[in-house]
Structure 1
Amino acid sequence: MTDDQIRQPAPVLCQGPAIDTARQAMARLTSTQNVELDQPPALLATAERWETAEGTKVTFMAAHDRPMIDLVLRFRAGSALDGDHPGLAALTLYSLDQGTQTLSAAQFAEHMAARGAIVGRSLSEEYATITLRCLNTPGLLRAVSQALAQMLARPAFRAEDVAVIRDRIALDQGRQKLNPLARLINTTTAHIFSGHPYASHADAAIIGPLTTDQVRAFHAKAYSASNLVIGLVGDLSRDDAEQLVNDLIGDLPRQWAAQPPSMLTEQSALSRHIAHPGSAIQAMLTLAVPVLPSNPVYAALELLTEILGGNYEARLPQELRHVRGLTYTVTTKLRHSDAGTLLHVHWDVAPQYREASHALVAGMLDCLHEFGPTQVECDMAVNQIAARLHREMADSAELAATLATHSHQGLPADYLTTHLDRLASLTPAHLREVAQVWWRNAPRVFVTFGPDAEQSPLPTPELAQR
């Protein structure tokens, strides 16, 4: 089958709706008569921000409804710092809780568990993140924070414990090779960031032969108080919050801070299929643009992403699932970093429609560039984002992570409270212009994972489905 035959089907829903039928139906309900349907409730999120003498940036929000705290410590100590030693950032982070100079790994775990404290860790290209959820009761928080401070500043890094963690990381990396979404993201990232430090996270096959001395040296440099941002939400006064932070970072190294990476450069387009047995194709189409969240353009990209595939009523789910029945799930995600922003479109589809569905999704993007969204789509997208933000803010752990992220990105302390107004001010004409400038000519990276099959054109949608 030729490419022209595969690409014949044009999008059915090339332009968005002019009328919000769901809102009209809701307006007729008795229960909504006193509800302002056109204006999402404001985000009441007043944060306080300061920088310690050691250079740590802290964003704090008091929440007195529950006697607990959620703490997010985010060091710029991600895999981008691995250099010629793949896995060094991961090995350092995941070896931290294997005991301190005064506690064994088992004793440290027992100390935290006995006090109901939950410690988490995660790694990305940019960050090594450590989280803490703990009750704020007399004596308990202090005991937990003292142990956490020891873990951060004086980890044991015993050779036998580090070796165990290294083996676990290698095992996990092997499992990731069988994870379709991980393969798609890693292949995409390796191409887009080719030659960039961020590519190390995607390119790392198996963790290298690292020594305990290398881990200690990495920790002494990267786990510095001046290389740290903190998000804190909980039942604390400002004075209590400052004291908690000072106790945690007091013994950390100082002075060193990682420099922001270079912005991504334009890469060539890519179309790659990773053959793997299965019953369906996992597909990902990605566009990369050199835009940071602090750029005013980012809000427009966020709204366009929501319009394209951020919810069930968005364009791609309606076209691929409702009209054509090609997939159960199609999603869009805006993935930001210090080097730029990636738009990921992810869907699954029958193997014979791999290329045709790619052409259809690309056509849907072209429709957005050519015609732009409607005002109804803009309003619906703002409402969807508002609902999601309200849900996230109700979770203090999510909120603490968001505060840390905004601080790292250089966004103002009132960013959350002003964000919905910023989105609502964007017009269809403005969004169309942004799509044309930033997405129209961006190289498209298309990666699929699944079985090989002879390619077929898409079935013609039934009129009843339109």
Structure 2
Amino acid sequence: MTGFSRAAALAVRRAARLGIASAVPALAMLFTASVSHPAAAMNIQKIKSPGGIEAWLVEEHSVPLISLRYAFDGGNSQDPPGKDGLANFITAMMDEGAGDIKSEDYQERMEDIAMRMSYDDSKDSLYGSFETLSKNRDKAVELLKLSVQKPRFDQDAVDRIRQQLLANLAYADKDPDKVASREWYAQAFPNHPYGRPSNGTAETVSKITRDDLVDFHKRTFARDNLKVVVVGDITATDLGKVLDDVFGSLPAKADLIPVTNTEPPQGGSQKIVEMNVPQSVAVFGVGAMPRKDPDFIAGFVVNHILGGGGFSAKLMEEVREKRGLAYSVYTYLQPYQHASILVGSVATKNASMAESLGIIRGEMKKMAENGPTADDLQAAKDYLTGSYALRFDTNSKIASQLLGLMQEGFGPDYVETRNAMINAVTPADAKRVAARLLKPDNLVVTIVGKPVGMNSAATPPVLQPALAVPGRG
């Protein structure tokens, strides 16, 4: 859930709990605090607090707003066996009271000062998002500090949040997209933390206790696995004090469960999860190069041409525009700490799923053999370099982008060198990397629905009509 949507939901929930007839005033206050402003000149400072906590800072004093993003390495890959969904559970608990402030009072105080705070989890990290108006900085920082250091995990809040999570799981089990994604990861990463359901199951979430939450917080919230970015109306000196106040009392070192490197199985596989729906959903993917691999940027460009470029992408043209088989089809590169994948999805009527997947395989094969055309490569580079600035047009976007770079091990200079690396991709690079990346015989495919004429198989059949589809260029 996004920061604002979660904040809005909290405002509505608090209003209902307090018997307020309309939540509009609370929502208006939260929206006012959520408005960001682009930094005029993005001077990225690397700072270290008096206590030794490192952060990146972009000062922007024209608007009295501070955006802070932080992450702890760990994420839901740290869920113990049998406790899948623990990381997700804790992200929903971090604003349910802290220190000596109980849940309702804590969230009322957040609303009173128009403070935004949310948490989220991924396979490798736990994320925190915090925004405050400058005039309320001290009060907001105190609430953030209590959340980071002393979440209460009161039993009544645990029980209430558990019921919400179980309701979400019951809903997700009826959503073909969510089921397809969950089952794809289980198929691609068997016997690995990446293959376990990130949000857990009804069985595992029901077993999570308050002690589990306390233990997870103790193991993962530490200074050595912390990364912080701040953008807004604050100086380096003042930020140093805030960093020590909020994070300085955390344990020096995290106690993380080791996670091994992995990759999807070679040779391809296909799984069908039957669901009585008129339209099937497929998730498909292969292993990809790591983020720091010299070929990653070329792979990023190739993916844009294949399925990441919206209506300009080959898959969209062939599956939707020429044949009208699907409303949307797409792919993206997803590097994790311990694996990297190229993954995509398509949804189409049950009778058309086999044809759609055949076209996708055919386009992958064609690009792997021939590479993209010079015109397609140039168009992709023009778009990717020209649109890059849009990732930095608000303070919150800047903070999120820079946090991602920190997590991937890049320095602030990446912002200045990234477009040059994309422009340096040659047709020969793109063809070589397409052959390395696009291996349709290795596709791991999960289909949810009742696709006609398809069966689960370790090696799916080659669909000849797709391979005969004529391509451009």
| Range into which the TM-score falls when normalised by the shorter chain | 0.7 to 0.9
| Alpha-carbon spacing, 1:120–1:387, altered in 2? closer, same or farther (3 Å) | farther
Please identify, of 424-433 and 381-390, the stretch whose mean Cα deviation from structure 2 is larger: 381-390
Q: 2:166 matched to 1:167?
A: no
Secondary structure of the equivalent of 2:224? helix
CA distance in 1, matches of 2:448, 2:440: 25
Match of 2:279 in 1: 280
Q: 1 CA distance for matches of 2:196 and 2:52?
A: 28
1:107 maps to which residue? 105
Provide the residue aligned with 2:364 in structure 1: 365
* Secondary structure of residue in 2 paired with 1:186: helix
Cα–Cα, structure 1 residues 46 and 374, in superposed 2: closer, same or farther, change >3 Å? Answer: farther
340-349 or 301-310, which deviates more: 340-349
Identity of aligned residues (%): 20
Change (3 A) 1:277 1:156: same
Query: 2:227 is paired with a residue of what secondary structure?
Result: strand
Do the aligned partners of 2:354 and 2:451 also contact (CA within 8 Å) in 1? Answer: no
1:419 maps to a residue whose letter is R
- Runs of 4+ with >6 A deviation: 455-459
Indicate conservation of the 8 Å contact 1:44/1:417, yes or no.
no
More RCO (CA 8 Å, sep 6+): 1
State the Cα distance separating 1:375 from its structure 2 match. Answer: 2.3
Q: 1:103 to 1:78 in 2, by over 3 A?
A: same
In 2: Cα distance, 1:434 partner to 1:53 partner: 46
Matched, 1:151 2:147: yes
Where does residue 294 of structure 2 map in the other structure? 296
**Which whole-Å deviations, capped at 9, do the CAs of 1:283-332 have from their partners, x for residues lacking one?**
2221123x321222211111111111222112111111222222221112
SS in 1 for 2:282: strand
Residues 266 and 272 (structure 1), Cα distance of their counterparts in 2 relative to 1, 3 Å cut = closer
- Deviation, 1:251, is 2.2
Q: Which runs of 5+ in 2 are unaligned?
A: 1-39, 455-462
Is the CA contact 2:74–2:220 (under 8 Å) kept in the aligned structure 1?
Answer: yes
Q: Find the counterpart in structure 1 of residue 190 from structure 2.
A: 194
Distance (whole Å) between structure 2 residues aligned to residue 202 and residue 95 of structure 1 = 16
Task: Determine helix, strand or coil for the equivalent of 1:253.
Answer: coil
CA 1:243–1:215 in structure 2 vs 1: closer, same or farther (change >3 Å)?
A: same
Map of 1:39-50 to 2, 5 A cutoff? 45-50=42-47
Report the Cα distance in structure 2 between the residues aligned to 1:337 and 1:155, rounded to whole angstroms: 28
Q: Quote the residue 1:93 is aligned against.
A: 91
Distance 2:433 2:442 in 1: 16
Q: Matches of 1:272 and 1:410 in 2, distance apart?
A: 36
Equivalent residue, structure 1, for 2:254: 256
Q: 1:93 to 1:345 in 2, by over 3 A?
A: closer
Q: What is the alpha-carbon root mean square deviation over aligned residues?
A: 2.7
CA shift for structure 1 position 231: 2.0
Larger deviation, residues 311-320 vs 250-259: 250-259
Matches of 1:279 and 1:114, distance apart in 2: 47
**Separation (CA, whole Å) in 2 of partners of 1:144 and 1:112:** 7
Alignment partners' CA distance in 1, 2:130 and 2:275: 39
Identify the residue that residue 10 of structure 1 maps to in structure 2: none
Q: Which residue of 1 aligns with 2:78?
A: 81
* TM-score for the superposition, normalised by structure 1: 0.83
Is structure 2 residue 107 aligned with structure 1 residue 117?
no
Give the C-alpha shift of residue 445 in structure 1: 0.8
In terms of mean alpha carbon deviation, does 171-180 or 360-369 score higher?
171-180
CA contact (8 A) 1:77 1:128 kept: yes
Change (3 A) 1:403 1:444: same
Shift of the 161–67 alpha-carbon distance from structure 1 to 2, 3 Å rule, reads same
Note closer, same or farther for the CA distance 1:260–1:439 as it changes in structure 2 (3 Å cut).
Answer: farther
What is the CA–CA distance in structure 1 between the aligned matches of 2:313 and 2:251, rounded to whole Å? 48
Q: 1:260 to 1:295 in 2, by over 3 A?
A: farther
CA distance in 1, matches of 2:227, 2:257: 14
CA contact (8 A) 2:50 2:241 kept: no
Matched-pair contact (CA < 8 Å) for 2:263–2:287: no
The 3 A distance-change label for structure 1 pair 363 and 392 is same
Distance apart, 1:101 and its partner CA: 2.3
Q: Give the distance between the partners of 2:183 and 2:129, measured in 1 at CA.
A: 29
- Tell me, in whole angstroms, the C-alpha distance in 2 between the residues paired with 1:136 and 1:299: 38
1:2-401 pair list within 5 angstroms: 45-50=42-47, 56-84=53-81, 85-137=83-135, 140-202=136-198, 204-206=200-202, 207-256=205-254, 258=256, 261-268=259-266, 269-289=268-288, 291-309=289-307, 310-401=309-400
- C-alpha separation between the residues in 2 aligned to 1:110 and 1:63? 28
Contact 1:190 1:202 in 2 (8 A): no
Q: Does the 8 A contact of 1:99 with 1:151 survive in 2?
A: yes
**Does the C-alpha gap of structure 1 residues 245 and 69 become closer, same or farther in structure 2, counting only changes over 3 Å?**
same
Deviation at 1:390, TM superposition (A): 1.9
What SS is found at the alignment partner of 2:312?
coil
Q: Distance in 1 between matches of 2:259 and 2:150?
A: 28
The residue aligned with 1:427 is 426
Matched-pair contact (CA < 8 Å) for 2:259–2:338 = yes
Conserved in 2, the CA contact under 8 Å of 1:227 and 1:257?
Answer: no
Cα 1:276/1:98, change in 2 over 3 Å: same
Write the letter of the residue equivalent to 1:450: G
8 Å contact from structure 1 (residues 68, 134) kept in 2: yes
Deviations 1:421-461 (A, max 9, x none): 100100111111112123337721111222343579979x9
8 A Cα contact 2:53 2:244, kept in partner: no
Q: How many residues matched?
A: 420
What is the one-letter code of the residue matched to 1:252? Answer: L
In 2, Cα distance between equivalents of 1:55 and 1:359? 55
Q: 1:259 to 1:50 in 2, by over 3 A?
A: farther
Offset of residue 266 of structure 1: 4.6
Output the amino acid matched with 1:82. Answer: D
Q: TM-score, normalised by structure 2?
A: 0.82
- Which string of whole-angstrom CA distances, capped at 9 and with x for unpartnered residues, describes residues 173-227 of structure 1? 2222122222121111112221222222359322141222222122122111222
- Distance in 1 (CA, whole Å) between partners of 2:363 and 2:346 is 14
Whole-angstrom distance in 1 between the partners of 2:226 and 2:100: 25
Aligned partners of 1:251 and 1:119: how far apart in 2?
Answer: 20
Distance apart, 1:236 and its partner CA: 2.0
Kindly tell me: are residues 197 and 52 of structure 1, through their superposed partners in 2, closer, same or farther at Cα, counting changes over 3 Å?
farther
